[in-house]
Copies of this chain bind each other. A is one copy, B any other.
Amino acid sequence: MPARYAPKTAAGRFFEDFRLEQTIRHATPRTLTSGDASLYSALTGARFAPQSADTFARAIGYPESPIDDLLAFHVVFGKTVADVSLNAVANLGYADCRFLKPVFAGDTLSAVSQVIGLKENSSRQTGVVHVRSQGFNQRGETVIDYVRWVMVRKRDAGSDAPETHVPKLPEAVSVVDLGAACPRIDRAAFDEELSGSPHRFENYCAGERIDHVDGVTVEEAEHQTATRLYQNTARVHFNQFTEGHGRFGRRLVYGGHVISLARALSFNGLANAFHIAAINGGRHVAPLFAGDTVFAWSEIIEAAALPGRDDVGALRVCTVATKNRPCADFPWREGEGYEPHVVLELDYWALAPRRP
């Protein structure tokens, strides 16, 4: 077949296809609507007051309800899958994720990634790729900026290894870098009855642990629908025919769905921590499958004032999610690893209103 009639199907990049500092513009841009917000809420249980009600959002200083931070994150993430992780063996982690502008219904998100790290593994079968991905709105403003790294197959074990480069990543986003996506909040207008909790920034202390009590069972139709909402096409989430013969014998739930469920469960205890300002790191410790019930608990790692802002403070929260195991006794690490039911460890900064 002549070149103009070349195979049309995208096979995804292999390790050899990444070059340091390479920039990849991702398909497909996506206009977020109130329909997406509705579906996100119905699939995950998200119900923080500013994202739920225009009236509440306006009272505290937003022009209208912002799109849930994680919905925006998943949409940006979803775009990168076809270009970055279609041939990934594992999603190893993400870090340095900052939310820089609020997203509203009607905004169109697109995504660009830059390769910032490459390291072949000693097996020569795979390599680790670091990318910094940015989500933009229709005005070209960066709304989300984060790093993730994945282990990607090589096309050919014999091909030359690139020069090793592993980027230095912050252990956590610095407090000075938080809050860009949060307008100035009118503390007095933050109605604690409507928001669902009397606990403000000052009520939380480092070391405090909160069991979020409730559990939610995941169905195949739910995680598939959510993952398609984000236009995330990773195959392991959708194809029982192939996965049935695979490592787990079943479809894997998208890790981002687990994050969203844990965040929604955390409403019970963190109802006023209404905005995710940054994700310091996330680890999907074990796979989740349909039929599993997700529970979660959180530890407050740090409570930090934001420089120059007396309206909101930042809580650094570590949320741990488990499957099929309530969290009243805060299951977490065990020896070198994790308690066997733990599926997620998510370290993030959330903003909460200060006392009036």
A residues whose Cβ falls under 8 Å from a Cβ of B: 1, 4-10, 25-31, 33-39, 41-45, 47-49, 52-56, 65, 82, 106, 108, 110, 138, 193-197, 199, 202-205, 208, 210-217, 219-222, 224-226, 228-229, 231, 233, 235, 238-242, 251, 268-271, 291, 293, 295, 324-326
Beta-carbon nearest neighbor of A110 in chain B = B194
The 9 closest A-B pairs by CB, nearest first: A35-B38, A27-B196, A35-B35, A29-B53, A241-B293, A221-B221, A33-B34, A219-B221, A217-B240
Rounded to whole angstroms, the CA-CA distance of A196 and B79 in the bound complex is: 10
Taking a contact as CB atoms under 8 Å apart, the answer to whether A239 and B212 are in contact is: no
Query: What are some 6 contacts across the A-B interface (CB < 8 A)?
Result: A8-B208, A9-B212, A35-B35, A35-B36, A216-B224, A241-B324
* A87: min CB distance to chain B, Å: 12
Assembly stoichiometry (copies): 3
Rounded to whole angstroms, the CA-CA distance of A138 and B194 in the bound complex is: 13
Beta-carbon nearest neighbor of A239 in chain B = B215
Taking a contact as CB atoms under 8 Å apart, the answer to whether B225 and A27 are in contact is: no
* A294: min CB distance to chain B, Å: 9
Taking a contact as CB atoms under 8 Å apart, the answer to whether B42 and A37 are in contact is: no
> Which residues from B are CB-within-8-Å of A214?
233, 235, 238-239
Q: Which of B36, B208, B222 contacts A221 (CB 8 A)?
A: B222
Rounded to whole angstroms, the CA-CA distance of A288 and B252 in the bound complex is: 23
- Known contacts A29-B194, A222-B225, A240-B291; decide if A38 and B41 are in contact (CB<8 Å): no
* A267: min CB distance to chain B, Å: 8
> Which residues from B are CB-within-8-Å of A56?
28-29, 108
> Which residues from B are CB-within-8-Å of A45?
228, 231, 233, 238
> Which residues from B are CB-within-8-Å of A291?
240
Taking a contact as CB atoms under 8 Å apart, the answer to whether A226 and B33 are in contact is: no
Taking a contact as CB atoms under 8 Å apart, the answer to whether B215 and A25 are in contact is: no
Beta-carbon nearest neighbor of A222 in chain B = B221
Q: Which of B225, B233, B293 contacts A239 (CB 8 A)?
A: B293
> Which residues from B are CB-within-8-Å of A235?
214-215
